Amino acid sequence: MKSTSLNLSAIHEQAGQGMTQYLEAARNEGKISPQQYQTALDNALPNLRDWLEDPRIDELSPNLKAGVADAVAAGQWEDLVNAYRQTMRFGTGGIRGMMAYDRASIVRLKEDGLDARILKGPNTLNNIVLLKTSAGVAQFGKSGGRSFDRIVIGYDSRIRGGDFARAIAELFLAYGYSVYLFDEPCPYPEVTFAIPFEKIKAHVGILISASHNDYRYNGYKLSCGNGSQFDPKERDIMYESFIAKATTKDIKLTPLEKAPKGKLFWLGGAAPVEGVDYGGREDCLINVHEAHLGHMKRFLMRPAMLEAEAKRPDPIRIGYCAFHGAGRKAVPRLLKMVGLADLTPVTKNGLNDLDGLFPSFNSDPGHEQQPDPGDPRAAKIAVGAFKEEHPGLFEKTDILIGTDPDADRCGVVVKVPAVQRSLYGGQDWMLLPADDMWGLLLWYRLNQEIEQHGSVRDADKKFIVLSHTTTDAIVKLVRKHGLGVVKTWVGFAALSAAVRDAWDKVPRQNLVEGRPAPDAALCHPFIMEYQAMSDRRTINYGALEQSNGFSILGGPPPDAFSLGEGGHVRDKDGTFAALLSAEVATWARNQGTTLFELVDRHIYLDPAIGLFVNHYEPDPLDGEYPGIEGDRKKIGILNRALELYRGVMSGNNLVLGGQKVLGTALYRTGKYDRIYPASGDFVFPDEGIRFYYNDDKLSHLTVRPSGTGNSLRFHVQLHAAVNEANLVDTKRTLRARALAITDEIRERLGALR
């Protein structure tokens, strides 16, 4: 049924009655606040009317209004409210959200394409939203003296990601851009590499991906001309002046097959991919795979060791799980290129297939699990599938590497020594936390420099940058070797911005927990703290975050559209982390040890560092608190956290997990105040509220909210001095204490599992 045969006025009237009744009931039952009720009432019906009355939508997505009519006929009032109560929130790196609210609709989207007859609105990720967003980005690139004319577009294994990418490519062609489009699902890091690649030199990049979120989600990741996320000021201008104002009238399209000569290029490998329609432009294929791999190879500390590994009678054995994602070709290609040929992929249950439904992961309503390589439950799925597919081989395998659907995150499964298996329920393997893996990578690289050159070269010029929720073990490690430290807020946008400031030698304020002295109302927009930083510190030795993200940004770039000198991409790269982790594992095996044992020996048993137990839990465990009711729950939890914060600030005693809280801090940059404006006693603590357990501030709990989604994060860090005799017992004690702290804070805040 096309919109011309629909009674749109009747649909809107019926929707108005049903949506209003739903909102009134939700308000009366206390599921939403009076303010939420009024905001939703003010926005949802006008937004629905605008979409129903827009004739351009009939041209762009003929089945959209029929999908709305179906939802109205079925009485899906809650879904309709959630689809139309707001425009999808624009975050630090773009937009991310649900394509639909139920599995049946996602399956229908997969089967029927972008114009599938499902419920769509301004608050779902769909072709209209993406095209309007792209029109805003395209207009931004042509404004204010900018002359953007080249864009890189990629996609991962998400449902209809390739179709979304092609539609966006057609829009940018219509705006006069030269488009560089990946020919198959690709890792996000390859997009961020391709943007400043010398044969392209694009001004902007887009990846269609929702990273590690569950199958219902998709997203739109934006990168600027050097491959990093846009500067916050530019991003705000782009959104407020262009994206937020874009309408369907701004959507214009040039079909790929009609692209002017010299305007459409394909990115991929040395030869066309079988089954891909290049529109007769196979001769416009650029081999970016080879360039990306060759670039990463330069970061190896011992390339000859890896080349020799292939000739050994018993080389290192590596397992690999792509989690249904775009790393399935990239990671094996990379590892085999450097000599690590004994690689076994996990293919059981389709884990090596490009299936955006992520069939290996639980998809029960309310428990939609994420394909996140940093989640121990995902690691269990990978190990279980490996053991079923290759009986007896796992015991002989040294490590198992996993990457998420867009391959920007990397997780490493390692073997546990028998003496410590009781810490893991008797299990002989564990997922090495990113806090440990990234610390080990840095230790290895520093150790190799000392071994090969007698010292860490240019230590007085080098520094690391890490998010404030990442372990302080890394801080102590690099400070021991003379490197500087910059702590930032969470996300690679902040990490990259902090490195840029170091390159530009921006004057360093006396930052204490993100606040310039004297204290200001808001924290610095992306820097939390400096340690031993000076104008000489311009070489980034590592950029890392607890959420399994890693890169090395190097020294000052030659221009604003290049990578750092001697550096890698300016966002996280799971393929790069996989390569460097495999090198460390190979070296460890040649030394007769393992990654697990190296962490204990060279980090936790180092008196200059000590044992750090870092524990992380999301709330909810999967996804987010659903819909408009989730908004109220999130704000309610944060209000209770703010009450605890104010109580400690007033001198009240607070005990969490059996330990007294000695201090607290509120981290607020104001970056989400347009979404969560201050009201009464409420302010949105976008980077969290921290509770300290000791005077040196190395043991603490952080409650941190998501800015654009209805979810929270609990981070616990505990520190203790240890020796070989008490290491295992102290690990057990601190792990139990961390669990007790998170259990109690959940109960106090009403965030029970």
- 708 inside domain: yes
Residue 92 in this model has a pLDDT that exceeds 90: no
**Co-location of 559 and 671 in the same domain:** no
**Co-location of 585 and 631 in the same domain:** no
C-alpha 612: how far from its chain's center? 24
pLDDT at res. 367? 82
Residue 1 in this model has a pLDDT that exceeds 60: no
Residue 517 in this model has a pLDDT that exceeds 70: no
pLDDT at res. 4? 64
**Co-location of 80 and 94 in the same domain:** no
- In tens, the pLDDT along 532-575 reads 999 999 999 999 999 999 999 999 999 999 999 999 999 999 99
**Co-location of 675 and 712 in the same domain:** yes
Residue 612 in this model has a pLDDT that exceeds 90: yes
- In tens, the pLDDT along 346-369 reads 999 999 999 999 999 988 887 889
Cα-based angle 293, 550, 691 (whole degrees, multiple of 5): 175
Transcribe 735-748 into DSSP letters: HHHHHHHHHHHHHH
State the residue for tokens 């003296």: 145
**Co-location of 188 and 284 in the same domain:** yes
- 405 inside domain: no
Residue 578 in this model has a pLDDT that exceeds 70: yes
Interhelix angle 627-649/34-53, nearest 10 degrees: 150
Residue 512 in this model has a pLDDT that exceeds 80: no
**Co-location of 519 and 644 in the same domain:** no
* Rounded mean pLDDT, 73-84: 97
- 24 inside domain: yes
Using alpha carbons, select from 401, 408, 178, 162 the residue that is nearest to residue 273: 162
**Co-location of 43 and 104 in the same domain:** no
This prediction's pTM: 0.95
Confidence of residue 753 (pLDDT cuts 50, 70, 90): low
- In tens, the pLDDT along 421-431 reads 999 999 999 99
The parent domain of residue 304 ranges over: 292-394
pLDDT at res. 6? 87
The residues that bridge with 691 in the sheet, in sequence order, are 664, 701
- 429 inside domain: no
Among residues 590, 605, 620, the one where a domain terminates is 605
Using alpha carbons, select from 476, 415, 463, 440 the residue that is nearest to residue 583: 440
pLDDT at res. 527? 94
Among residues 552, 579, 605, the one where a domain terminates is 605
pLDDT at res. 61? 97
**Co-location of 600 and 451 in the same domain:** yes
- 421 inside domain: no
Among residues 605, 622, 649, the one where a domain terminates is 605
- 249 inside domain: yes
Number of domains in the chain: 5
**Co-location of 30 and 164 in the same domain:** no
pLDDT at res. 364? 80
**Co-location of 554 and 624 in the same domain:** no
Q: Which CATH number belongs to the domain containing residue 273 in this structure?
A: 3.40.120.10
- 424 inside domain: no
- In tens, the pLDDT along 38-65 reads 999 999 999 999 999 999 999 999 999 9
**Co-location of 299 and 261 in the same domain:** no
Q: Which CATH number belongs to the domain containing residue 620 in this structure?
A: 3.30.310
**Co-location of 49 and 127 in the same domain:** no
Kind and range of the H or E element at 329? Answer: helix 327-337
- 400 inside domain: no
